[in-house]
Amino acid sequence: MQIIPAIDIIEGKCVRLTEGDYNQKKVYNEHPLEVALAFEAEGLQRLHLVDLDGAKAGAVKNWKVLETIAAKTNLIIDFGGGIKEEDDVRIVFNSGAALATIGSLAVKNENKFIDWLTIYGAEKFLLGADVKQNRIAVSGWLEQTDITVFDFIDHYLEKGITQLFCTDVSKDGKLEGPSIELYTTIIQRFPELFFIASGGVSCMNDLLQLKEIGCKGAIVGKAIYEGRITIADLSSLNSTGNATS
């Protein structure tokens, strides 16, 4: 299982939200590069970088942060937030992201997203599934659809998507533990999927549980910044082989 630390960006700073609420924002570091370098120094290889300004504005905003981290580290970066037009996709890839993260757009403008899969290759995209009560939520989790997460995954597996991360909105940023039952069901139904758990990780035991049920990756955010899990802990897990696929 790959450990994928998260950096969320607002106004160029490393922050975390609780349940996606911009009014529940906490700044952890004004220099995201320092955070990324610390991850890399401990042997972590991937980074989940989220442009929260971009997500709110509907266009990529913090691409300079991506460009800096990509230029000064060897981390494999997936970047999301505000990717709504092909210009945004180009900016993200030109700035050094290995993967573009797509969530709401895959629901709201399926034809556009499928065009991008054809142009750039499905392997260049990390699909995000934000879930409330097993149904897909979009627009910064403000809008719940009637699409089940299972139908959503099934549809995009047919389109060539291989990597997907799932966030249970009710768990995100609350340090109450991940949605083990939901993730177990997804993994059992879609064994070919490179499935990444996201949201709720509060301690190392949570990560061990996610590995046990067969997650290929786990995104860890607030637990690191709140000191519940140290980067050294993650490195130790990595070095024992428990966190690498």
Torsion of CA 197, 25, 175, 1, to 10 degrees: 30
| Chain-centre distance for alpha carbon 187 | 17
One-character DSSP codes across 60-117: ---HHHHHHHHHH---EEEEESS--SHHHHHHHHHTT-SEEEESHHHHH-HHHHHHHH
Closest by Cα among 233, 223, 219 to 4: 219
Name the burial class of residue 197, with classes exposed (0-12), middle (13-18) and buried (19+) by CB atoms within 10 angstroms of its CB: buried
Is 8 among the catalytic positions? yes
The CA-atom distances, in angstroms, between 23 and each of 35, 91, 156, 226, 239 are: 23, 28, 33, 18, 38
Q: Could you say which of 51, 53, 78, 130 is catalytic?
A: 130
Report, as residue numbers or ranges, the catalytic residues.
8, 130
